[in-house]
Amino acid sequence: AATAPRIPPTRLALHHFDVSYSLQLKELWPSVRAALLCEQKYGALLNNFAAVDYVAQELELLDATDFVSEAAKKAQRWQRGAAAEEAGRGESVCQEGSGEGRVVTQAEAPPPLRASIGSNIQCYTFPRGDITRFRPARPDSLGLLDYYLMDAASLLPVLALNVQPDDFVLDLCAAPGGKTLALLQAGVCGHLAANDVSTSRTKRLYQILQSYVPREIRETVSVTSCDGRDWGQLEGGTFHKVLVDVPCTTDRHSVMEQDNNIFHRRRTKERQMLPMLQLQLLMAGILATRPGGEVVYSTCSLSPLQNEYVIE
């Protein structure tokens, strides 16, 4: 053991992904693999609490676009196209006795656009292939930073949660705080509970709230450091919307960063137990939701064991 070569956890992670994801994704895996190994590309989540109206114009001059509003426009175009296709169906069916005609099939429709896409949330990204970096965030006259840099994909669970006015919302695994901040940007939460089991990560959450959110809004957010698996017993049947963004293998971090890497040999057991932890957190999130409420479960992993199998 003393003389055996030490294999870095990043290499162990990549080997694990090569074996498992190549079977799962087949011919798509080489391009996904290349994306995982590329430099991370961020989006700029605009801070609606900061008095910086010029930021959107500044970003647009740099050729960045708000991908949230772009998604809404694409959905509207699709809906118009689907309506036109439906209207033209009458011209495509067989006429009785003619013996002629053709089969018309409609492409599978994308899921209906949730109301939250049209919300106040704005997140700017550079075009595909453009790896320009955003400048560091700047404070306004009150000291609130103008935007928060995050992986744009991390915004999707927040949009899927579709928070409505006066909803009671729980972010069960909230730290370091990007999704919590995004939930507040919608400006419609009746109350937001942000929890994370790690006290050190919760401190980071506090820092983000202080840097981006005015005091009167922060007072509507309750921050706790409880074990999320116990939340259903603490406040069961309370919330309209619950976000369960669980700890996972965090695939990009696993192949890029040595520090705090879950593929380190000392963390093997922890990694193997992740699906059970994720299942327990999801169950707690469901129990915390009032009847008729909604739960969004999300990870930063491609693993079916941590996604589809947990849901099943």
What pLDDT, on a 0 to 100 scale, did the predictor assign at position 146? 95
C-alpha–C-alpha distance, residues 312 and 189, integer Å: 30
Tokens at 199, concatenated:
């006290």
Q: Is 173 annotated as a binding residue?
A: yes
Q: What is the mean pLDDT of residues 79-95?
A: 59
Work out the average pLDDT over 95-99.
39
If 0-12 CB within 10 Å is exposed, 13-18 middle and 19+ buried, where does residue 106 land?
Answer: exposed
Give dist(CA 297, CA 172) in Å, integer.
10
Q: Model confidence over 221-244: pLDDT tens digits?
A: 999 999 999 987 777 889 999 999
Mean pLDDT check: name the lowest of 97-106, 125-134, 231-240.
97-106
Q: 78: which 2 tokens?
A: 């699709």
Where in the sequence numbering do the catalytic residues fall?
A: 300
pLDDT at 42 over 70: yes
Q: What is the pLDDT of residue 116?
A: 45
Residue 178 annotated as part of some ligand binding site: yes
Residue 217 exposed, middle or buried by CB count within 10 Å (0-12, 13-18, 19+): middle
* pLDDT for the residue numbered 50: 92
Q: Is 146 annotated as a binding residue?
A: no
Q: What is the arithmetic mean of pLDDT over 191-206?
A: 94
- Is 186 labeled as ligand-binding? no
User: May I ask the CATH architecture of the domain 40-82+118-310?
Assistant: 3-Layer(aba) Sandwich (3.40)
Per residue in 256-296, pLDDT (tens digit) is: 999 999 999 999 999 999 999 999 999 999 999 999 999 99
Computed over every residue of the chain, the mean pLDDT equals 87
Answer left, alpha or beta for residue 292, where phi above 0 means left and psi between -120 and 50 means alpha. Answer: left
Q: 242 - beta bridge partners?
A: 170, 295
> 189 falls in which pLDDT band (50, 70, 90)?
confident
Task: Confirm or deny that 187 is annotated as ligand binding.
Answer: no
According to the model, what pLDDT value does residue 119 have? 66
Q: Helix (H, G, I), strand (E, B), or coil: what is residue 46?
A: strand
Q: What DSSP letter does each residue of 180-198 carry, written as one string?
A: HHHHHHT--EEEEEEE-S-
CB of 149 closer than 8 Å to CB of 114:
no
Segment 71-85 mean pLDDT: 73
User: 245: which strand partners?
Assistant: 298
Q: Are 34 and 27 contacting, i.e. CB atoms less than 8 angstroms apart?
A: no
Domain boundaries, the chain: 40-82+118-310
What confidence category does residue 86 fall into, taking pLDDT thresholds of 50, 70 and 90? low
Tokens 């509207």 found at = 76
Q: Which of 25-39, 100-114, 144-158, 290-304 has the lowest mean pLDDT?
A: 100-114
Is the model's pLDDT at 96 over the cut of 70?
A: no
Q: What is the pTM of this model?
A: 0.85
Task: Flag whether pLDDT at 1 surpasses 90.
Answer: no
